[in-house]
Amino acid sequence: MIRRAPHTVPSHAPRSAVVTGAARGIGEAIARELVRSGYRVLVTDLDEAQATDTAERIGAAGGAAYDVTDPAAARDITAQAREIAPLGAWVSNAGVGFDGTVADMDEGKLRALVEINMLGQLWGARAAVAAYREQAATGVRGGEIGATVSLSALGPVPGLSVYAASKAGALSAMSALASEVRREGIRVHVINPDGVNTELLRSMEPGGQGQALVRSGMLVTPEQVASGLVGMFGTSRVYRTLPSWRGAILRLTGFAPGPALRMEPAMRAIGARKARSLRAPH
């Protein structure tokens, strides 16, 4: 059920937007960017109270509880958004970031990575496409589908192996979807950021292999991710990486994983040094 935010939504905003996992972090930044772009945004999260608080703070249209692993709930959320205005954008941002190896990861965490990071994006995209098709029958054509994926989708990442695989699956599916629905005026966009200094990164094992490899790159801000994703709306661009040079490096590990992964100890050492410098008193 939507809890309306008390802020007045600009009268010129013609379309609604849904952002998942938007109570904080990257999702909140994306929702804020969409509000600035004129969308009537429905902030969704597992925690309805936090979603509503965020909606009130950023001037969104409302907040709602949403579990991305439930296909029926995705359809319910699109219906709620369309009560606000015709759907114009759906952004699948919700995700989890458990670190660990293939052999040793807890089974529950492994399932959650696949069900939230990959299947959750597919259920959302399917619901959005169905809504756009229904709207097209009434003369409202097309719309945007956005997805927050990860730089790790572009190649193997030891210590984040299942996380990276779930993101690679999401990137592959969303990229294919972009071609499948292009003729209907539905545009699909994926943002693949390097590490972002959010609770997801901080929740990884301190000093662990996964966190160290993420920190070996250049941390980007939630605002940079939001600007990069929403900046693709209205264009034919399917995906971009932040920063682009890290994407090029990681794609090389996919082409030649043996030689490239021999650099892993050095990359991990760089990340560990950066983590120590952040903890050191200044």
Q: How confident is the model at residue 120 (pLDDT cuts 50, 70, 90)?
A: very high
183-193 burial: b if 16+ Cβ within 10 Å, else e: eeebbbbbbbb
For residues 167 and 264, what is the distance between their CA atoms, to the nearest angstrom?
20
Comparing 160 with 35, which gets the higher pLDDT?
Answer: 35
Residues 6+ apart with CB under 8 A from 200: 25, 95, 96, 97
Q: How confident is the model at residue 2 (pLDDT cuts 50, 70, 90)?
A: low
pLDDT (average), residues 230-239: 96
CB 42 within 8 A of CB 18: yes
Q: How many residues does the chain have?
A: 282
Which of the residue ranges 1-5, 80-84, 136-140, 247-251 would you say has the lowest mean pLDDT? 1-5
Domains of the chain from N-terminus onward? 3-205+219-254 (3.40.50.720)
Peptide bond into 243 cis (omega under 30): yes
pLDDT of residue 196: 72
Q: What Cα–Cα distance (Å) separates residue 33 from each residue in 151, 238, 241, 278?
A: 21, 19, 18, 29
Which pTM does this prediction carry?
0.81
What is the per-residue pLDDT across 75-96, written as a single tens digit (0 to 9) for each? 999 999 999 999 999 999 999 9
What is the per-residue pLDDT across 26-63, written as a single tens digit (0 to 9) for each? 999 999 999 999 999 999 999 999 999 999 999 999 99
